[in-house]
C-alpha cells in the first residue's frame, strides 16, 4: 500500500522514476524495480548489459524543498570525502547536478495529485552491497550499539568542525517540531486517538487516565528540554535516524556504510542516541544498549553529567514522536502492533514520571 503522503499510485511513481533516469548516462536500457516505500520511494536501477547497479530515490513531494535536499547530499559527500564514514556515492546527472528536477506533468501524475503543478525531485546513488545487521542475541545487539556510538561520535565531530557550503539549510528537530505545535510527523495526540479508536487486535486501548499520564509526561519533557537549552555544545547537525537499520554491512571486517540521511537536521546531539533505540525503547536490555553506545561515543566526544541526565527525556520524546509518526502512517510495518506500541508508551511515560523504572527512564 502506498502511503497517503502526496504520492500518486505506484504505476505513476514508476513512470516518474523512468523519467528521472533520462537525466543520467546509465546504458541503453536501464531497468527499474521497486525497493521500498516510506517517506520516499526507492528503486533499484540495473544496467544489465554493463553489469552496473544504482539506487534511485524519489523524494516525497512537499516534505523537503530543493535547497534542503541539496544540503543533505552535500553533507553526505563531505563525510565521504573527509574520510569520516562511508556513505553511498551520489551520482551527478548528465548536467552535473546532484538533484534531478522532474517537471510536473499531469499526464504522469494526474490532474488532481497532491502538490499540483510542483516539480518532483530525485537523486541517484551508487549501489552499496551489504545488508542491515539484525542481531538475534544480546551480544550481537551490544556490539551493534557499540558501533553506532562510534559512528555517531565521528559524525558529531565532523558536524562541529565542518564549514557547510553557502546556502546550506536543513530543518531543526526542536520541541516545537517534535511534540510541539508544529510537529513534522503530526501530533502525538492524533496518533494516540487513531490507536484508541482503531484497535484491531483486541488489545486494551488507551483510556483517559493513560492520556492524562502522557500529557503530564509531555509537559515534563518540555520543561526539562527548555531548561537544557540549545547551546552549541549540545545542539547541532545530526543524522536523526541513526539506527542499525540504517547501516549496511558487507562482511565482518568492512566498515559499515551509513544510509538514509533524509531526516538529518539540527537537533540535540543526544537525539541520535534516542533515535538508535527507535521501536525498542521498552525492552529490558535498553540500559545495557545505552551504556554500550556511550562507552564508544565517549572515546571521541565527552558527555557531561547534565547531558547524561537528559537521556531518558530524549528517549521518551523520540518514542512519542514515533507514536505521532505511526498515527500518520497507518500502513507502516515498523512494529507488529501499533496499539501495543502506544499502550506500552503509556507505561514508559508513567515510569518516567514516577521514577519506578530503570535509571535510564528516571527523570
pLDDT in tens, 301-338: 999 999 999 999 999 999 999 999 887 776 566 666 77
- 8 Å CB contact between 14 and 42: no
Instruction: Work out the pLDDT band at 205, boundaries 50, 70, 90.
Output: low
- In tens, the pLDDT along 211-264 reads 999 999 999 999 999 999 999 999 999 999 999 999 999 877 679 999 999 999
Average pLDDT over residues 331-351: 78
The torsion angles phi and psi of 235, rounded to 5 degrees, stand at -140, 125
pLDDT at 5: 47
Percent of the chain clearing pLDDT 90 (strictly above): 68
End-to-end distance of the chain based on CA atoms, in angstroms?
Answer: 40
Nearest to 348 by CA among 330, 333, 331, 362: 362
The Cβ of residue 166 has, within 10 Å, a number of other Cβ atoms equal to: 5
pLDDT at 54: 98
pLDDT at 331: 59
Question: Would you put residue 83 in left (φ > 0), alpha (ψ -120 to 50) or beta?
Answer: left
Average pLDDT over residues 61-80: 96
pTM of the model: 0.91
pLDDT at 38: 82
Q: Which domains does the chain have, with CATH numbers?
A: 10-126 (3.30.200.20), 138-354 (3.90.1200.10)
- Average pLDDT of the residues of the chain: 88
pLDDT at 251: 78
Average pLDDT over residues 130-142: 89
pLDDT at 200: 47
Average pLDDT over residues 52-58: 97
- In tens, the pLDDT along 152-198 reads 999 999 999 999 999 999 999 999 999 999 999 999 988 887 766 65
Amino acid at each position: 500500500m502506498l502511503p497517503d503522503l502526496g504520492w500518486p499510485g505506484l504505476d505513476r511513481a514508476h513512470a516518474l522514476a523512468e523519467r528521472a533516469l533520462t537525466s543520467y548516462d546509465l546504458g541503453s536500457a536501464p531497468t527499474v524495480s521497486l525497493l521500498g516505500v516510506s517517506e520516499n520511494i526507492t528503486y533499484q536501477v540495473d544496467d544489465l548489459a554493463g553489469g552496473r547497479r544504482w539506487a534511485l530515490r524519489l523524494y516525497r513531494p512537499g516534505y523537503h524543498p530543493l535547497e534542503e535536499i541539496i544540503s543533505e547530499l552535500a553533507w553526505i559527500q563531505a563525510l565521504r570525502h573527509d574520510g569520516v564514514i562511508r556513505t553511498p556515492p551520489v551520482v551527478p546527472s548528465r548536467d552535473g547536478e546532484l538533484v534531478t528536477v522532474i517537471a510536473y506533468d499531469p499526464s504522469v501524475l494526474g490532474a488532481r495529485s497532491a502538490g499540483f503543478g510542483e516539480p518532483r525531485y530525485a537523486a541517484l546513488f551508487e549501489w552499496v552491497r551489504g545488508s542491515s545487521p539484525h542481531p538475534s542475541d544480546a551480544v550481537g545487539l551490544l556490539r551493534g550499539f557499540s558501533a553506532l556510538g562510534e559512528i555517531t561520535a565521528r559524525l558529531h565531530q565532523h558536524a562541529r568542525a565542518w564549514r557547510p557550503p553557502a546556502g546550506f539549510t536543513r530543518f531543526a528537530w526542536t520541541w516545537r517540531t517534535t511534540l510541539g505545535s508544529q510537529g513534522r510527523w503530526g501530533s502525538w495526540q492524533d496518533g494516540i486517538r487513531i490507536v484508541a479508536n482503531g484497535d484491531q487486535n483486541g488489545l486494551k486501548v488507551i483510556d483517559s487516565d493513560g492520556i492524562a499520564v502522557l500529557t503530564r509526561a509531555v509537559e515534563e519533557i518540555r520543561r526539562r528540554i527548555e531548561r537544557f537549552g540549545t547551546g552549541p555544545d549540545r545542539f547541532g547537525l545530526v543524522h536523526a535516524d541513526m539506527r542499525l537499520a540504517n547501516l549496511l554491512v558487507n562482511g565482518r571486517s568492512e566498515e559499515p556504510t551509513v544510509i538514509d540521511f533524509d531526516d538529518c537536521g539540527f537537533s540535540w546531539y543526544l537525539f541520535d542516541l534516542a533515535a538508535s533505540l527507535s521501536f525498542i525503547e521498552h525492552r529490558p536490555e535498553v540500559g545495557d544498549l545505552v551504556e554500550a553506545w556511550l562507552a564508544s561515543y565517549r572515546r571521541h566526544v565527552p558527555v557531561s553529567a547534565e547531558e547524561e541526565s537528559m537521556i531518558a527525556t530524549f528517549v521518551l520524546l523520540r518514542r512519542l514522536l514515533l507514536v505521532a509518526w505511526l498515527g500518520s502512517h497507518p500502513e507502516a510495518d515498523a512494529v507488529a502492533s501499533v496499539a501495543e506500541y502506544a499502550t506500552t508508551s503509556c507505561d514508559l511515560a508513567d515510569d518516567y514520571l514516577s521514577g519506578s523504572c530503570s535509571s535510564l527512564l528516571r527523570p
